[in-house]
């Protein structure tokens, strides 16, 4: 289980100070970029950008492998099929109007 939570205050400019102990444990240094998003239940989640970009790189590599494998197995291009499906959906949508 982690350390107890610390209370920080939001400045009039919307700034907060991340306590030194938290920065050290997270390996954060001055100038590091953080991605900010809303979590569930009103939480605010900060994630170091470098972690997200390495996760994204892995996801993209895995997706590329899957697409190549699928194309090799089926002989069909999955991206072209997605474009074709979307084109048909747009045609149906325009007919409904």
pTM for this entry: 0.47
Give the confidence band of 28 by pLDDT, cuts at 50, 70, 90.
very high
Helix axes 49-74, 78-96, angle to 10 degrees: 90
Q: What is the mean pLDDT of residues 46-75?
A: 82
Residue 72 near residue 56, CB atoms below 8 Å: no
Give the confidence band of 35 by pLDDT, cuts at 50, 70, 90.
confident
**How is the chain split into domains, by residue range?**
52-96
For 38-50, the pLDDT digits (tens) are: 988 889 988 888 7
Residue 6 near residue 19, CB atoms below 8 Å: yes
Q: How far apart are CA 7 and CA 31, in angstroms?
A: 23
CB atoms within 10 A of CB 66: 11
């Amino acid at each position: 289980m982690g350390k107890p939570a610390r209370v920080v205050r939001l400045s009039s400019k919307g700034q907060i100070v991340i306590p030194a102990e938290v920065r050290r444990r997270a390996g954060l240094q001055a100038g590091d970029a953080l991605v900010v998003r809303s979590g569930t239940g009103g939480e605010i989640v900060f994630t170091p950008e470098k972690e997200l970009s390495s996760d994204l790189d892995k996801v993209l590599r895995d997706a590329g492998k899957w697409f190549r494998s699928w194309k090799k197995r089926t002989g069909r291009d999955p991206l072209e099929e997605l474009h074709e499906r979307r084109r048909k959906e747009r045609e149906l949508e325009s007919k409904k109007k």
